[in-house]
Structures are given as structure tokens and as C-alpha cells.
A and B are shown apart, each in its own frame.
Chain A
Amino acid sequence: MNKPGALALVTVVALVLMLAAAACGDDDSGGKSSGAVQTRVAPVLVAINMLDSAGLHAIDTSITQDGKIPSTAHTTAVHLQAAVLVTDWPQELKDPAKKLAALLGDFAMAIDTDKPDRKKVTDASNKVHAGEHDFSHQVWDYLAKEAGLTGGDDTHAESAATPSPAAAKIQVTDVTARPTTNDVSAVYFTVKNPGPADRLVKATVDPSVAQMAQLHTMVTEGATAKMQQVDGIDVPGGGEVVLKPGGFHVMLMNVQKPLKEGDSLPVTLTFEKGGTVQVIAAVKTLAGGGMN
């Protein structure tokens, strides 16, 4: 099983346990019964687990980096589209679900020809991949809420590597990666944090992309500059932190295949309080000194 799939399964198990625990509490206080909660969320759990572990990441990587459309891609897209359409999503997820189904449909159509247009297929695949990540976030936020997890008590969410409601507030934008000129690269982005102070503690990429990813900074001592690994990068409450050339960056090492301008690269960021955030880095040439 691929890593995202395994992660999703662990998360499902954890949430089901939490739901059960929450339901027990409800029994005592005469609230909603465990049966009602589970009946309502069961189809959501099934569908999101299927989406999260369907291998969209691997499909997108194969298309974007190798220019190869996996033989299973079309079936996967069609099945997922059907699953998204038949699932009885709660009201707040109905529209996002429709959008994702449309993206899956576009993708299936783009590859269902004798001579697929590479640019079109890549674009559709990137959109499905990113769209699934976005949708997954919203679904897990909903499930966390159903499980009775609130921003003040996110210890369970953390251990389950699930974004808690607080995490949903962290926004990561302008995610870029440097094209490779050998087997290293750097990823840069902006983290906006309207919530309480947090800390970026880890960045990971699929080992098929790069075998190691570390948080680094640049330290200048006299005439010398050097890179240094850091344990974490503080994100001030109500503020932002910018990872940019000449400062903080995520260093990728042992990059497995060249990253070229126009490629995209999924990155998972882990925040101390906010849990994980999935982002897609656009590979492009970055300059240090901008034009003022």
C-alpha cells in the first residue's frame, strides 16, 4: 500500500475510535446515539478513504514527471467519479464534491482518446490531484467536527496526523521548488497563520521524488555562509513566515528524477499544533534579488 493510503487508513481507524468514544459520552448525557453518528458518517468515511488511497498521487507523478499515463488511470478516475456522485455527502460538502466529480470527469475524458494531448492530460491530472487534497481537507475537517474535536483540544487530531480545525486555518501559498541541476532542490512557500502561534516541524515528499527532505536555513558568519538544518520554523500567531531564496527552505536531497520547469511536486508539511497540510509545489526558476 502506498504511504498516503496507509496514512488515510490509520486516520480512518483513529477517527472511528474517537467517534465511538464520543458516542459513549453522548449516551451518558442523553445526546445523539452512537448509531446515528456512525450511520451519518459511515458513507463519508468509506468514500474519503477510497479517494485518499486511490493512488491519485502516483498517477499524477507518473503523468507529470514521466509523461506516462498509468493503464489504471482511466478506470480509477471513472470509479472515483461514480463514488463521489453516489455518496450522500452532508450539505456543506455537496458543492465541493460536485466540483471534484467534475474534475475527475474532465481527467477521464482527457485520457480517453487514442492520442491524449500531454499538456491537457497533465493539467487535468494536476487539477484532480490538487482537488482531491483540497476536498480531503474539507472532509476530514467535517469528520473531526463530527467527532467532537475542537480547536482547543486537538491532541487526538495530532496523533492521527489529521488536520484539526485549527490546522484548517493555516494557509500555505506560493509553493515553488527549484528545478534540479543535479540531485538537490529547494522548496519555498509562505505560511499564513491567523490562529495561535505554531511551528512547522517537518516537510516530507514521496520517496520516489526525493529520498530526503529537511528544513534548512542560511547562517552567515563573516565572509562565510552555510546551510544549517533546523528543528522547526516558528510561525507567529496571527502572522506569517516566508521561506524564500537566501533564508529558510526545505532542502530536497537524492532527488530521483529531474525536476523541470512546469512540473508539480506534492509536499506534506507538518505543524506542531496544526497537523499536516498537503501542498503542491510548482517547479520554477527562482531568483534571489527581485526587481524593486
Chain B
Amino acid sequence: MQIQHLTRWVLAVVALSVAAATAGACSGDDAKGPSEGVSNAGDYRGVLVTPPLEKPALTFTDTSGRPYDLVRETEGTVTLLYLGYTHCPDVCPMHMVDLNAVLAKLPGDISAKIKVVFVTVDPERDTPEALGRWLGAFNSSFIGLTPDAPTLARLLYEFGMGEPHRTDLGSGNYAVSHAAYVMAFTPDNLAHTVYPSGVTREDWAHDLTRLVKEGWKPS
């Protein structure tokens, strides 16, 4: 089958339709399941991104306060990158819970080659220490990175996420715009697939096993 050529502009539409298909998978014969809708590139179940996203060549601060060169530190691994914040009540913890559960189910030789990297888009509240505490509640091996302001702006720009956006919730609380999906970087330092909320653990496990074993190899 041919790889469907998607631009980043239409990615959102695909992501939404996958989410909708996931939600409504049982609603009728016409509704395509998530795997069916995105299976046109070698049976990957994530959402395809063409051209793929590049792993940002940026340096952050990790939860122990040391510099973390993303490209160097994650070399040769499947890196699952998510941009979120710890005061996010819903989607961010959901992805962390899901990824922890998926990794726990994968064979050790597969999960050992996967790194989960969470970059905060809210460095003001998410100090390295606070981020480490939060991530530790899900999985102590998850890597938490805090960007400085220019690094954050560059990161958001590279991923087409625009300016960091804050929504005031009152009494000093605010929400921050964050990534709509988890990006899966293969050892070629490119993310060919992304995973919006609603992707099942089975689909996650399926793709991660393939990405670790073969790298990016659409059939």
C-alpha cells in the first residue's frame, strides 16, 4: 500500500478523525477503527506525519538539575516525546498512565529501548524538582525536562504549536496549551507517527514493538 502523504496541516484533521473513530468504533459498520484508518503505511497504528517531525536539537534541564542534550541522550532509542504540564488534570496524566501501563506489558528487551520524555510547557510552575516528583508518581524512569524560555519558544515553533498559550482559570490557576499527541521518534531521529489521546494500549504496544525491532520501515 502507498504511504498516504499528509502534511502537518492536515495532521490535525487525521488526529481528530482517529480520536473520533476510536470513540465511535462501535457505532456502526461505516466507522473505521483506529487501526484500519491509519494502517496504510505498513500497518502502523499511530497517525502518520509526512514530512516526519525532526527531533529537536535542544538542550534542557533534567529533573536532577543537569543539562540534557535531547539528541545525544536519546540516541539509538525509540523516544516518546510529550509536551505537557503537571497542573494539567486530564490529558497529561492520562498519557503518562497509559505509557506506564504499555511499557509494563512489553517484554523487557523492548521496553529497555524506549525512553519516555516529558518536556514541560509550564517551566514557571514545573521546576525540575516539581516535575521529577510528578513524573515519579507514574514511572520513575520517565525523563522530565524543563526548557528555558527561548528553548521553549523554539520547541513550540518547531512542532507548529505556536506561542505558549495561557488560559486564566481564576485564583492564580491557569491552563497551558500543550501537545495534542505523543510523538514517537525512531533511531533516525524522526517521528513518523504520533499518538493522540484515545489510542488504545494494544495499538501502542503493537507500534512500539515494531518501531523498536525494525526502526521506521513502512511496508
Contact = CB atoms under 8 A, between A and B. Distances in A.
B134 interface: yes
A75 interface: no
Q: Which 5 A-B pairs have the closest CB atoms?
A: A246-B197, A288-B94, A186-B89, A226-B177, A225-B180
A151 interface: no
B86 A228 contact: no
A224 B101 contact: no
Contacts of A216: 89-90, 175
Interface stretch (B60-68, B73-81, B161-169): B161-169
Interface stretch (A61-69, A158-166, A167-175, A247-255): A247-255
Contact of A178 (B12, B33, B89, B204): B89
Most buried by B among A181, A229, A251: A181
Contacts of A228: 167, 175
B95 interface: yes
Given A226-B178, A227-B175, A253-B169, A178 B93 contact: yes
B12 A221 contact: yes
A249 B89 contact: yes
Interface in A203-231: 211-212, 214, 216, 218, 220-229
A30 to B, nearest CB: 55
A184 interface: yes
Contacts of A223: 8, 11-12, 159-161, 179-181
A289 B86 contact: no
Interface string A102-114: 0000000000000
A194 interface: no
Interface in A10-57: none
Interface residues of A, number: 38
A224 B179 contact: yes
Contacts of B181: 223
Contacts of A288: 91, 94-95, 97-98, 197-199
Most buried by B among A186, A212, A254, A288: A288
10 contacts: A212-B169, A225-B91, A225-B177, A226-B175, A228-B167, A229-B169, A245-B94, A249-B90, A290-B200, A292-B200
B94 A226 contact: no
A291 interface: yes
A287 interface: yes
A155 interface: no
A268 interface: no
A276 B90 CA distance: 25
A289 B179 contact: no
Interface of A: 178-179, 181-186, 211-212, 214, 216, 218, 220-229, 245-246, 249, 251-254, 285-292
Interface of B: 8-9, 11-12, 15-16, 19, 22, 25, 33, 86-91, 93-95, 97-98, 101, 130, 133-134, 137-138, 159-162, 165, 167, 169-171, 173, 175-181, 196-204
A214 B98 CA distance: 25
Nearest to A222: B12
Contacts of B94: 245-246, 286-288
Contact of B173 (A212, A286, A292): A212
Given A220-B180, A223-B8, A223-B159, A186 B90 contact: yes
A232 B204 CA distance: 33
Contact of B167 (A183, A212, A227, A290): A227
B169 A291 contact: no
B167 A286 contact: no
Nearest to B165: A226
Contact of B15 (A186, A220, A254, A289): A220
A246 B203 CA distance: 17
Contact of B203 (A222, A227, A289): A289
Nearest to B84: A225
A61 B57 CA distance: 49
A102 B199 CA distance: 46
